[in-house]
Amino acid sequence: MKLRLILLMALLVNWQAGAIAQNKLPKPTEQQMEWQKFETIAFIHFSINTFTDMEWGYGNESPELFNPSDLDCRQWVKICKDAGMEGVILTAKHHDGFCLWPSAYTEYSVKNSPWKNGQGDVVREFADACQEYGLKMGLYLSPWDCNHPDYGKPGYNEYFKNQLTELLTNYGDIFEIWFDGANGGRGYYGTDSLHNRSISKDYYDWQGFIGLVRELQPNCIVHGGGLPDIRWVGNEEGHAAKTHWSTLRPNDQFSKDKSFPAQLNEGHEDGLRWLPSETDVSVRPGWYYHAAEDHQVKSLPSLMDIYYESVGRNSLLLLNLSPDKRGLIHPIDSLRLLQWKRQLDLDFKEDLVNSKCQFSSNNKKKLKKAFDNNYDSYWQAAGEESYLEIDFRKSLTLNRLLLQEYIPEGQRVKAFRVDYLEDGSWKELARETTIGYKRILRFLPITTQKLRITFEESLAPAMITKVSAYNAPILLAEPTIRRDQQGMVSIHSPEKFGEVFYTTDGSTPSRQSEPYTEPFLNDGKVTVKAIVYSGDNHGEVGEQMFGLSKKQWTVVGTDAAKLPLFDGKPYTSWVSANNVKEVVVDFGEAIAFSGLTYLPDQARWSRGIALNYQISISEDGENWTELASGDFSNIRNNPITQTIDLGKKVTSRFLKFATTAAADGQRVLGIAELDVISK
């Protein structure tokens, strides 16, 4: 007894000697705790940008442009609800200054738009829809305002507070308010010219803004404005770092040797402020709707990665949807979101850690509380190297482990290890760092009867409120196959934990085919087929035909070694010189072909999308014969690969691909990929 007491005291001294004493560990407020439990919430970017095809307006776009034909906030909110979101945040005002509600303080709003003859209020309809579907409502109010004449002058702070008051008092409860940090400087600001207005560091009256929120909506979480309640995760791609603390140091105590976003992405173990992260990411490349991005809605595997790398890494996911010009969410997006929800439900369908299991530990006190599915009851580690052991009482296959700390008492775990029993001996499965509110590990399926989680290091005794394990169905989407200019073929599987097999002889790949481990050389005409396996399950076959070798191909007038238009990567582009709008390719020798394919620049601010084409060939690069010309229909809105069939086989060494009209009146021709059809 005495010995145990001495040991316990030694242990406490040890923990207290750490960077932060146990009783000083930062802890979430009630509001932060409630917010964290939402896990997934949605963003809606909808405004005048939707009608101008822009991401950041200039503040001079006419309110007349805002005219959704079928606006239905109920459709947005229902989709969010069906996708399992707990709340939704709408851009009431973005950087252009256009207000989706009829603010009494500006003319730049829905009240001067043709929509509902100026009688409409999108924020009101949105609030009603949230209420109807039982979702929490949040609002985004951009401090940067490219329309307001006083922006950059002291008077603007009053204007902003007036608008904030309107939003905080007229629309019911608001769970989160988003103050964006962007201040691009450029805008019209109520004048006739586009110019820059810079602001000083202390320009905004943050204390006043946040004071208003505290007074009018005491339970509202504030994003931005000096990081009062939550922090940005540091990127807009949807990923928190594996080591992820909900705590942060004050701004002036950030490390010098790591970027600011990287530190937001990880948090600080010794941070004294509780500032959990929010991972904001859009299901499309942009935040607003652009028809040209309809084919770039994130795939199901990439949305799954986003979930596991945000919610599964102790962050909260804020996933953006972009209603289109009708004022409705496009079916591609809604379908993808529902597929995502269905896949998540499948992944977490059956918790293998249940009442059939037997639990043991070096600290049996309140052991069951780690497994009782009640967040508010927890098991506490007795010292470092404390462990929880689960005996499934039969051999089971699993590939996910979910752990939760009881964070109302602070985030504690610094390092943990997972082992499983195989053939009578313990094998290491994972060695990880933080847990926080929720941590989900993904790994290749293991078959075992026993699992052990050892808490190796923590700031104070670990408090564990949940341990779950699952055997998620592997998402075996088809792999993509690419070949670079040197003829190296690479195969990319969206499922990180599957095994890839391929063939190059046209046969259907199977487990018996060549396993893919790294890029391989195959520079001739070839069809590569690949498949992903997980155990006996496999996905669809991915297939790619490659034509002639491009090793000798050059672009006349450049000696660049790497030519993006032949590199097999759709996300890199070649762009002609200004006013040239053509490319001349030297194949190195005469080749025979019957057509060509053109993939335009895929970037959001795409350069030189050709609206029409003229194709010529030449033996010597000087005397040209025109072969074909025509238009690419709908290429601006749908910039996918275009195929030009020449209707006959031709042989030549030089090819000229030209356009007379590029999208948006641009003076260049841009090409992501160019190839010939040589069948």
Binding region for ligand FUL (CB under 6 A) = 55, 180, 182, 280, 287
Residue 152 sits at φ, ψ, to 5 deg, of 95, -15
Kindly state the tokens that stand for 161: 């507070």
Residue whose CB is less far from ligand FUL, 229 or 280: 280
CB of 599 to ligand FUL, least distance (A): 27
Tell me the pairing of strands 642-658 and 582-599.
antiparallel
Contact status, residue 174 vs residue 218, Cβ threshold 8 Å: no
Which residue sits closest to ligand FUL, CB atoms considered?
182
Residue whose CB is less far from ligand FUL, 55 or 499: 55
CB of 145 to ligand FUL, least distance (A): 13
CB of 95 to ligand FUL, least distance (A): 6
Contact status, residue 279 vs residue 239, Cβ threshold 8 Å: yes
CB of 93 to ligand FUL, least distance (A): 11
Q: How far apart are CA 576 and CA 361, in angstroms?
A: 67
Kindly state the tokens that stand for 618: 């030449």
Sign, CA dihedral 624-630-633-637, equals positive
Tell me the pairing of strands 542-546 and 526-534.
antiparallel
Kindly state the tokens that stand for 375: 């967040």
Residue whose CB is less far from ligand FUL, 141 or 435: 141
CB of 89 to ligand FUL, least distance (A): 9
Residue 392: closest CA among 449, 330, 314, 445: 449
Residue whose CB is less far from ligand FUL, 319 or 407: 319
Place of tokens 């060549």: 514
CB of 472 to ligand FUL, least distance (A): 30
Residue whose CB is less far from ligand FUL, 47 or 493: 47
Residue whose CB is less far from ligand FUL, 322 or 448: 322
CB of 178 to ligand FUL, least distance (A): 8
Please state, in angstroms and as integers, the Cα–Cα distance from residue 511 to each residue in 63, 75, 481, 498, following that order. 60, 44, 18, 12
Residue whose CB is less far from ligand FUL, 55 or 237: 55
Q: How far apart are CA 292 and CA 296, in angstroms?
A: 8
Instruction: Write the DSSP assignment of 233-267 as a string of letters.
Output: -S-SSS---SS--SEE--GGGS-SSS-HHHHHHH-
Q: How far apart are CA 163 and CA 301, in angstroms?
A: 40
Residue whose CB is less far from ligand FUL, 223 or 442: 223
Residue whose CB is less far from ligand FUL, 146 or 370: 146
Question: If DSSP codes are grouped into helix, strand and coil, which group holds residue 40?
Answer: strand
CB of 124 to ligand FUL, least distance (A): 22
CB of 43 to ligand FUL, least distance (A): 7
Contact status, residue 246 vs residue 411, Cβ threshold 8 Å: yes
Residue whose CB is less far from ligand FUL, 228 or 487: 228
Q: How far apart are CA 265 and CA 221, in angstroms?
A: 20
CB of 253 to ligand FUL, least distance (A): 24
Question: If DSSP codes are grouped into helix, strand and coil, which group holds residue 650?
Answer: strand
Q: What does the radius of gyration of the chain's CA atoms come to, in whole angstroms?
A: 29
